Amino acid sequence: MAVSHERIAGLIPHHGAMCLLHEVLQVDDEGITCRAVSHRNSDHPLREDGVLPALSGIEYAAQAMAVHGALRESRGPRPGMLAAVRDVVFRVERLDDIPDDLVITARRLLDDSSRLMYEFDVRAGNRELLRGRAVVVLGAGGAV
The phi-psi region of residue 54 (left if phi > 0; otherwise alpha if psi is between -120 and 50; otherwise beta) is alpha
Quick one: pLDDT band at residue 86, thresholds 50, 70, 90? Answer: very high
pLDDT, mean of residues 88-92: 98
Domain boundaries, the chain: 3-138
pTM of the model: 0.92
Between CA 116 and CA 101 the distance in angstroms is: 27
Could you tell me which residue, 78 or 100, shows the higher pLDDT?
A: 100
Q: Does domain 3-138 have CATH number 1.25.40.80?
A: no
β-partners of residue 4 are 23
pLDDT, mean of residues 31-45: 96
Q: Between the ranges 74-83, 93-102, 106-115, where is the mean pLDDT highest?
A: 93-102
Length of the chain counted residue by residue: 144
pLDDT at 143: 42
CA-wise closest residue to 28 among 67, 62, 76, 77: 67
